[in-house]
Amino acid sequence: MSILGCCALSLTAATATADWLEASSDHFVVYGDQNEATVKRFTHRLERYHSAMTHVFGKQQTKPGPSNRVTIFVVSSRAKVREVVGAKNRFVAGQYFARAGASVAIVPEIGHASQSELSGQTILYHEYAHHIMIGMTARTYPRWFVEGFAEFFSNVRFEEDGSVLLGVPAGHRAGELMYAREVPIRTLLSFDGGASDPTPRRYDSFYGQSWVLFHYLQMAPERKGQLIEYQQLLGKGQPALEAAEGAFGDLTQLERDMDSYMNRRRLSAMVVAAEAINVGPITTRKLRPGEAAMMPVMIESKVGVSDEEAKELVPEARKVAASYPNDAAVLSALAEAEFDADNDDAAIAAADRALAIDPKQINALIQKGYALANKVRSGALPKESWKDVRAQFIKANGVENDHPIPLVQFYLTYVSQGEVPTKNAIDGLEWAMHLAPFDSQLRWLVAQQMVSDQRFQEAALTLAPLAYSPHRGQHTDNALKLLKDVESRLTTEQAPQDSAKAD
């Protein structure tokens, strides 16, 4: 039986309420207050999805360190998602934060997902598809391709025979494809999909059209091989539109063909057969009473809080910790809430209490390190205390060797101290990026260090995903500026060599 195949194009799940549970697997940690069977099935599907994706792209499955897994919080409703992430848009149905050693997703209650609306689970699969893509290649792709890829693979169906269908028709995009302003084909295929247009128009059908185009090129027999050719032309340095014309031919005809494809009664999906799916053990446990009581605080802290929110949150954390003073996880969460609220001494005290109970409580080790570093920066501790901060993150690294945060923070102690980082610190920083290539802040740190070390070729490769990211972020403009400078230096260095060869 062929492991990959096609079939014609619905996803169901039960829902209930129960005590807070934790489901733990190779790549995910899921927290939910639904029944055990539902939470375990959801986690199993996430692992099946991961396995299907890595199989399709021939990527060897590697088991991340415990803290580099994706943590998923299942909350009661979309409204609760919006409340936690601070979103005012009523269409927000879930959110994903890709961070080294702290990747977090928040989705509404696991239940029946309507194919006509964008569910929190689909958003999770969409963002995890980005996560997989970044882990596979540092090459940059046009915005339509990046989003079309994620849209294609986020529409997934889990069959009872154990197989996984990828590229199921995206029913939730039907409305925008029918009624929203259409993106002109040349704009869609430009590198940024019109995002940098000085007079931008609202193209609400961008994601829908990107899905249609990717699905068409991936699945339609008459376009077989064109998507691969397109990627090859991009890899040779051709501009986005030239590569599109070279691979797809007449773009006006492509647009007509997309419209025709979208109106077909049946669309195929990619099938990954059950024997190709490899899912490791999934364990579940009921959270201890203290952990369950601290869960609302923990969710807010892990998603991220503003200064004002942190100060509002810490009294609740203290209240729970007072009721459960002997639970290391509760005290560790208290340490995090105190640190977020700029209460460094209280954070250290809570972390020490947690570590007295459980010396391997990794979050307590990290929060204590953060607080100590803050005290040195503020002058509350002398500069000589940077050695104590380093020792704290060395302890954390000893507990979990492949946790990216201690590696990054160890490196940053040298930067904060105004000293040249040691080779060991730099190697650790780069290993952290290897573990978490999706973290833009970490990538920016690595690129800057490479430039400082005059490793310009490596710096250019590291900067490109930031500089040309379809999702403009904190470092996009600075990364592009630095990349241009690095490329100029590379050209200057190459010119004398070429001249010497000519002589």
The pair of three-digit structure tokens given for residue 330, joined into one six-digit string: 């509760």
Q: Please work out, in degrees rounded to the nearest 5, the angle formed at the alpha carbon of residue 303 by the alpha carbons of 278 and 392.
A: 85
Predicted local confidence at residue 240, as pLDDT? 93
**Residue 121, helix vs strand vs coil:** helix
Model confidence at 470, pLDDT cuts 50, 70, 90, reads low
Strands 70-75 and 104-108: parallel
Mean pLDDT for the stretch of residues 24-49: 93
Predicted local confidence at residue 52, as pLDDT? 95
What Rg value do the Cα atoms of the chain yield, rounded? 24
Going by the DSSP 8-state scheme, the letter that residue 19 receives in this structure is S
Return the residue matching tokens 């028709």: 169
Model confidence at 135, pLDDT cuts 50, 70, 90, reads confident
Query: Is residue 128 within 8 Å of residue 50, measured between CB atoms?
Result: yes
Predicted local confidence at residue 86, as pLDDT? 66
Residue 92 has pLDDT above 70, yes or no: no
Helix (H) or strand (E) holding 409: helix 404-417
Predicted local confidence at residue 232, as pLDDT? 93
Calculate the CA dihedral of residues 427, 400, 107, 127 and round it to 10 degrees.
30
Is the model more confident about 206 or about 344? 344
Structural domains of the chain in order of their starting residue, each with its CATH number: 10-140+277-287 (3.40.30), 169-268 (no CATH), 289-422 (1.25.40.10), 439-495 (no CATH)
Of 503, 20, 94, nearest to 285 by C-alpha is: 20
Rounded to 5 degrees, what are φ and ψ at 72?
-120, 125
Residue 500 has pLDDT above 60, yes or no: no
Cite the DSSP H helix spans in 20-100. 36-56, 78-85
The pTM of the full predicted model, rounded to 2 decimals, is: 0.86
Model confidence at 467, pLDDT cuts 50, 70, 90, reads confident
The pair of three-digit structure tokens given for residue 283, joined into one six-digit string: 């364990």
CA distance 136 to 248: 24
The pair of three-digit structure tokens given for residue 75, joined into one six-digit string: 């909350």
CA distance 299 to 159: 32
Residue 136 has pLDDT above 80, yes or no: no
Query: Is residue 489 within 8 Å of residue 456, measured between CB atoms?
Result: yes
Strands 70-75 and 28-32: parallel
Going by the DSSP 8-state scheme, the letter that residue 351 receives in this structure is H
Predicted local confidence at residue 193, as pLDDT? 85
Which neighbouring-strand residues pair with 157? 165
CA distance 12 to 38: 11
Residue 2 has pLDDT above 50, yes or no: no
- pLDDT tens digits, 209-240: 999 999 999 999 999 999 999 999 998 889 99
Burial string for 281-312 (b: 16+ CB within 10 Å, else e) reads ebeeeebeebbbbbbbbbbbbbbbbeeeebee
Predicted local confidence at residue 88, as pLDDT? 57
Amino acid at 497: Q
| Lateral strand order in the sheet of 4-8 | 4-8, 268-272, 164-166, 156-158
Predicted local confidence at residue 199, as pLDDT? 54
CA dist list (Å): 257 to 150, 222, 375, 446 = 22, 10, 62, 44
From the DSSP assignment, how many helices (H) and strands (E) are in the chain?
A: 21, 10
- pLDDT tens digits, 180-189: 678 899 999 9
Helix (H) or strand (E) holding 370: helix 362-378
CA distance 198 to 185: 18
